[in-house]
Structure formats: C-alpha cells, structure tokens
Amino acid sequence: MKILSGISFLFLLTCSTFVYAQAPVDTAYIYTYGGKANDGCNQIRRTADKGFILLGTTSSFGSGNTSMYAVKTDSACRFQWSNVFGGMQNQAGYSVVPTSDKGYAFLGYTNSFGHGGYDAYLVKTDAHGNIRWEKTYGGSDWDFGYSLQQTQDSGFIFCGLTFSSGSGNGDVFLVRTDKNGDTLWTRSLGGSGYDAGNSLVVQGDTLYTLVGATTSLGKGDTNILFMQVDSHGIVKNTKTFGCSHNSVAYSIAPALDGGYLINGSMDTLTPGIRGPVLLKTDAKGNLNWMLPPNSTPYQDIGKDAIQAPDYTLLCVSAANGGGYGSSSMHITHLDSAGNYLAWPSFGGNNDQYGHSVTMGAHGNVLFAGESSSYGAGNYDMYVVRFSNDSIVQNYFLSITSYADTTLPAAGINEHEQTLGINVYPNPMSSGAEIRIQSERADRFTLNLFDVKGKCVREHLLFRSMDHNLSVLHLDRGNLPAGSYLYEIEDAGKRVGGGKLIVE
C-alpha cells in the first residue's frame, strides 16, 4: 500500500514537573497512521512475525460515517498494510486477536447491518487483512462487542453490552462461537441495573474472567464488576470493587503470579472528577492491593495495564489535562507492589488519548491511542514506543507520520452524522431512555420542546457510560400527552434531534 514519505525529527523533551539528577536518557519513538479526518486506535497487539496489529475507528476511509480500521506494522512500527470493514453507516473497532492460523479477528460494533439498531460485529481475515468472513450478533435493540479472545478449539469468546436481552437496563453480553463465527451459546448476565463487560481473558479454555461496570451490585452508583464464567457460560464467581462513587474497569490482564491486573477509573475527592485506579487481585478476584486515584483537577481514566517479564507494571491512561495540550497520553511505570517508578506524559499542542499497551518481541513496550497534535488529519492513530520496558522520565523524542493514501477516502463528516441516537420506548407513557453512541465521549445535554416551540425541559445532562455511550433517563413528570421535539447539544452546539411522542 502506497505511503507518503514519513516526517521524522528528533528533539529533547524534558519533564517540567519531575526533575531527576543524572537521570537516564532513552528514545521515545512516536508513530501516527491515518488520513485527513478522524482515526483512532483502541487496541494494539503483537503479531506472529514480531510486528504489530492496531485496531480502531476511522472516518477518513471506508463507505460509512465511521468504519472499523486495522493497521499492520513491522517490528519497528513501519506501516505495512491497512484495511477498513463495515457498511454505509457507523462501525467501530475495539479488540483484535492474532489467530492461530496467522490471520486476525477484529471485534466491535455496526449499525450498517444485523438484527437491531447496533450489533456486535466480528470480522475474520487472513494474514494480509483480506476478509474471510464477517458476522453480527445481537437482537432487536442495541448490542456491542468490546473484548475478544480466541479459544483452544480456534473458536472465539467475546464480551460486551446488550440492551436486547437480559433482566436489566443493559447487561453483560457474552458470546461463544466456533472457528467460523457461528454461535455456540449466548449469555446476558447481570441484575436489574446496568451491567457491562469491557475486557476478557481466557484461562485454559475452562474459565473466562471479565471485568466491567455494574449498577446492579456493590455500593454507591457504579462499581467495578469482576466475573468468572465457565466454558458453558455459567457464572462461578462475582465480585465488585468501589465505594460511594463511580468506579469502572476497562481492562484485565494476567499477572505473573496467576492473579490479575485491573485498570479503570474511580471518582476522586474532587466532585465530578475521575482518576485512574489500578487493582491487583489473586486468581479468584480477591483484592491484593489497590492504587486509588489522586484528587487532581482533571479527568484521567486508566485504560490498560500489563506486567512486564521483570514484574514491573506498565499502564496507560487517557487524561484531560495535566500534560501537553488539552489532553495527554499518560504512561505509568510501577514496581510489582504498585510503587511509582516513572510517569511521563506524551503529546503536542492539541489532544492525545491513551487506550492500549503491549510488549514487543525484544522487550520494547508500546502504548497506543489517538492524537490530534501529529499526523495527517484531525485525529490519527498514535503509538509511543520505548526500546525497553524501563520507562524513564528524560528522553529524546523521534516522530514519524505515515499518511495512508490508497484507501478510498470518505468525506469529513459533520458531528451529527456520527451520532447514533435511540429513544425507547417511543411513544412513551411514564418515561423513556435516550441513548447516544458517538465517536468520542462528549458532554451531551437535551432540550425538549412542545409543538408550539416552548422549551419544557432544558439542559438535561446525559450520563457518560463506557465506550462513548451516553444515557439519559427522561421521566414524564407532568408532561401532557402529545408530540414533542427533542434537541441534543454538545457544548452549546446542536448535534442531533428527533421526535418524541407522549401517550
């Protein structure tokens, strides 16, 4: 695939907050991939040829508003190929697995085809990204796939979120398939509230361990959910972690002692502000220790963590403030007991977000996400690579941008085109739930108008859930029966709307 020549330069970047005498110096290599619009990476994984595979979402390429976007690189992160998947509407990619046949499996969601408004979307390709098959999973409502693993029989297991089935207002969506993607069984797990599965690991094909968020169990509003399920989808163990505030887990990874590392976010002492939280548990989810968030004046959400062969811990977070630009990719290096070793931030004058971390074949460590400071477009896939897993505070920075030019470019979309909006039930009697799925998490508000144009509900705030899903519960209250128009705003700008009927 044709690539525009990379832009490469080198300069010394020193940390303005933490200063160390005679600190070691390393090189941090930065790479971006994408086109003229928005491109981001949700997961990066090492491949059988010692290279890397990245999966995310693009509005630069493909036939839809957004498409699932995969990029393959060599061991030095040099671009090799890319591909897009999906139809004419909205797709997103969240999880990638290099498969036993040297191909790849990609998981996310689509509303271009399937059974409901959104469906979980699984794509299987060969080693070059050519589609072998693609399948959707879900019912008549919204269903999402967030985390994928391959099983020992070459089949797949994934978790996510379903509104189509279950006993609550959103349940953990767990699906087991054979090697061709045909469903072996499906489970909807949770209680009467909101329950989501955000990340999954497999142990010997007899136990699946997942983490996410729950309002059905635990203390306070939203708690971290830990759940273990056997090979038949039967729940064997459930635990929650949290307190009187909101807590969400975004990733789980095996620890070298047989336990787990869980990374996520938790409200701080500052009202409305979240910080990263890291938990270490044993094999059954019993807490060994927890590194709670500091009370800082900015949002910082822990997204991924792994344990290196030297037993140190490597974490990445998406931070709103506290670094370069409006948002920065925050990297944390800890010892095995959770003590800080290094904590650099990466980014330019605009926004950066960190989502995933992986180890290379030769001990190098890579952090992936998206950036609007570097690259070819508004946002690009963004990778920071260190030559080894000993992250240091002082480093040289080398930046290379790969502009992908051969995929058919889609138009740069207006924000309203990239929103998925669902109102249920509509018509409503006592109340309705309004859900928004967008490219990125935003602070949405709703205004409701009667047929004469009078505003009867103003600036109702949506609640931000996982994976850019926002939810608002609208109570009827004293609204008389009739037709209404709703308007959705983001920072005072209209980004969507529609009709609501009250019976």
- Single residue among 375, 403, 431 that ends a domain in this structure: 403
Are 304 and 276 spatial neighbours (Cβ–Cβ below 8 Å)? no
Domain shared by 389 and 430, yes or no: no
Domain shared by 310 and 456, yes or no: no
Domain shared by 491 and 353, yes or no: no
Sequence-distant (6+) residues with CB within 8 A of 341 are 312, 333, 334, 335, 391
Does residue 49 lie in a domain region?
yes
pLDDT for the residue 18: 33
> Whole-angstrom Cα distance, residue 19 to residue 386?
20
> Whole-angstrom Cα distance, residue 60 to residue 408?
9
> Whole-angstrom Cα distance, residue 80 to residue 74?
7
Structural domains of the chain, count: 2
Supply the range of the domain harboring residue 255: 8-403
> pTM above 0.85?
yes
Domain shared by 436 and 392, yes or no: no
CA atoms in the 13 A half-sphere facing the CB of 371: 27
Encoded amino acid at 326, one letter: S
> Whole-angstrom Cα distance, residue 148 to residue 15?
36
> Whole-angstrom Cα distance, residue 53 to residue 125?
12
- Single residue among 341, 376, 403 that ends a domain in this structure: 403
Domain shared by 229 and 118, yes or no: yes
The rounded average pLDDT for each run of 10 residues, N- to C-terminus, in the chain (503 residues) is 37 32 70 94 97 96 92 96 94 97 97 92 97 96 97 97 91 97 97 95 91 90 95 96 86 97 85 81 96 68 94 89 71 92 87 94 92 90 88 82 77 50 91 87 87 90 86 93 92 87 93
**Buried b / exposed e across 234-262, counting CB within 10 Å, b at 16+?**
eeeebbbbbeebbbbbbbbbbbeeebbbb
Q: Which one, of 251, 255, 244, 248, lies nearest residue 286 by Cα? A: 255
Strand-pair partners of 353: 370
pLDDT for the residue 64: 83
Does residue 412 lie in a domain region?
no
**For position 462, which CATH number holds?**
2.60.40.380
Does residue 413 lie in a domain region?
no
Does residue 57 lie in a domain region?
yes
> Whole-angstrom Cα distance, residue 3 to residue 236?
50
- Single residue among 362, 379, 403 that ends a domain in this structure: 403
